[in-house]
Amino acid sequence: MTVTAIIVAAGRGTRVGGDRPKQYQPLGGRAVLGRTVAGFAAHPRVTGLVVVLHPDDADLFAEAMAGLDLAVTTVPGGATRDASVAAGLGAVPSGTTRVLIHDGARPLVSAALIDRVIDALDTHPGAAPALAVTDALWRGAAGRVLAPHPRDGLFRAQTPQGFRIEAIRAAHAAHPGGAADDVEVALAAGLDVAIVEGDEDNLKITHAQDFARAERVLRERDMDIRTGNGFDVHAFCEGDGVILCGIKVPHDKALKGHSDADVGMHAVTDAIYGALADGDIGQHFPPSDPQWKGAASDIFLKHAVGRVAERGYRIAHADLTLICERPKIGPVAGAMRAEMARLMGIELDRISVKATTSEQLGFTGREEGIAALATVTLVRP
């Protein structure tokens, strides 16, 4: 089995508006047609790509494909859609056994949908995705409802529409022209066409507002969510208080460290670096460097937060647990949350500071120091 995708992109798309055909207008930083072609090129079962273009669009197509190192055959389209498809069928590589015919203005086709169409061709000469009509339907005229229309057995057609190559070639050769899609051509030739489950996200860019909907789908698909963990410990030493999350907490001891030993802030900072796969505090601020002796830990935290912004992420949530017998954290947890939220530039309800004991077990149970565990979630829309 050798599968070639034929992407039909010879239309003018005037209903969208703009200074160029809709398939060459940008969607999420890339031309619509560039996204469509890339979607099929990335599918492991698609071995050939034919793109049917308007004869005037060679430069626009080259621009749309910039940065995509793909082997694509292009062919001029005809005056109608079925003429363009026929041109594409004549340009498929030798050895092709199955074709997927797809609208260039459907840039969000999923790999799973492509698989469903290909799989259905094992048992049918044709297969196409569709969605059952669920809205009520009316017949109307002159702005008035004339009568309800039954929706039973009605589907909204999508592409790619798949066929065994020789069957669809013969069907197109015999068809008089004017078909709305290739399923119509196939049915006219008596071919059995299976319906496979469509995808609401597989929308066709037809009107200007469709770009906004497609952008929303892209944001949901491309969202990058990362989680990092941080852990730190500091031993007690002589002193009159500890600094935790930027707050001086009275205590009969202090915490020992190269910087100000803010164990809570260190754990959160390392969790941020971890989510970014960007090392840890020690790599960015080596303890062997004397300039960080006694440094305020908010320097480290602000650096990590800055790295988040540089990479295009935002901090969705941070959760910190302090582990100690004393001092008691509850009375100052609110102040700690507020200070951490301020330093991190996030809302108060996105930062949690809480404490627990180790039930007098281990070094924290013996009151030899404080441990901290943090988890941070980053999101890049």
Q: 3-state DSSP call for residue 133?
A: coil
Helix axes 165-174, 81-89, angle to 10 degrees: 140
Q: Is 281 annotated as a binding residue?
A: yes
Is 366 marked within a binding site? Answer: yes
| Cis peptide, bond prior to residue 327, ω within 30 of zero | yes
Is there a binding annotation on residue 258?
yes
Q: Is 234 annotated as a binding residue?
A: yes
Does residue 259 have a known ligand-binding role? yes
Q: Is 110 annotated as a binding residue?
A: no
Q: Is 356 annotated as a binding residue?
A: yes
Which residues fall within 8 angstroms of residue 368, CB to CB, at 6 or more apart?
235, 236
Residue 209 to residue 204: CA distance in whole angstroms:
11
Distance, CA of 141 to CA of 40 (rounded, Å): 41
Element (H, E) at 248: strand 247-250
Can you say how many angstroms the Cα of residue 354 is from the centroid of all Cα atoms in its chain? 33
Is residue 358 marked as binding? yes
175 assigned binding-site residue: no
Query: Does 233 show up as a binding residue in the annotation?
Result: yes
CA distance 352 to 342: 13
Q: Is 185 annotated for ligand binding?
A: no
d(C-alpha 14, C-alpha 193), whole Å? 31
SS3 160: coil
Q: What is the Cα–Cα distance from 243 to 369, expressed in whole angstroms?
A: 13
- Which residues sit in the known binding site? 232-234, 258-259, 266, 280-282, 356-359, 363, 366
Residue ranges of the annotated binding site for a divalent metal cation are: 232, 234, 266
